Amino acid sequence: MSSNKTTKIIYWVTTGLLALFILPGIFFVTSETATQGTAHLGLPMWFHWELSIGKFIGGIILILPFFPARLKEWVYVAFGIDFISALIAHIAVDGVSAMSLFPVFTFALLIASYITYHKIWVNKG
């Protein structure tokens, strides 16, 4: 298998997994679990709504190939800040636990997606 084909597979697998974790969240934004989780971390509900809507929009931008590269760059930055902030929030409130590993896992997927995105579309040739 060629290096470029392998890179594309890694890109679509990591980006697809990110989308699977991010996009369905909009359908559960009003669930009791989601609102209790927000309250547990000491975050206001307006932030819960803002983050949920922003993540949904960012997930769409990340997964659809026709959005401009510069916009995708900002989405990668925003998700990086989100995942790092989630890790800090979980550790600050609950200490190191299984829940604090999920943001680390999604951040690793994000980095793999970002690196392969650049190899395929941004740094062509």
Domain boundaries, the chain: 3-122
pLDDT value of position 124: 67
- The answer, yes or no, to whether residue 2 has pLDDT greater than 80, is no
pLDDT (mean) for 36-59: 95
0.85 cut: is pTM over it?
A: yes
**Dist. CA 69–CA 24, nearest whole Å:** 24
pLDDT digits (tens, 9 = 90+) for 17-34: 999 999 999 999 999 999
In 1-125 the beta strands, taken as DSSP E runs, fall at none
pLDDT value of position 125: 45
% of the chain at pLDDT higher than 90: 88
SS3 assignment, position 41: coil
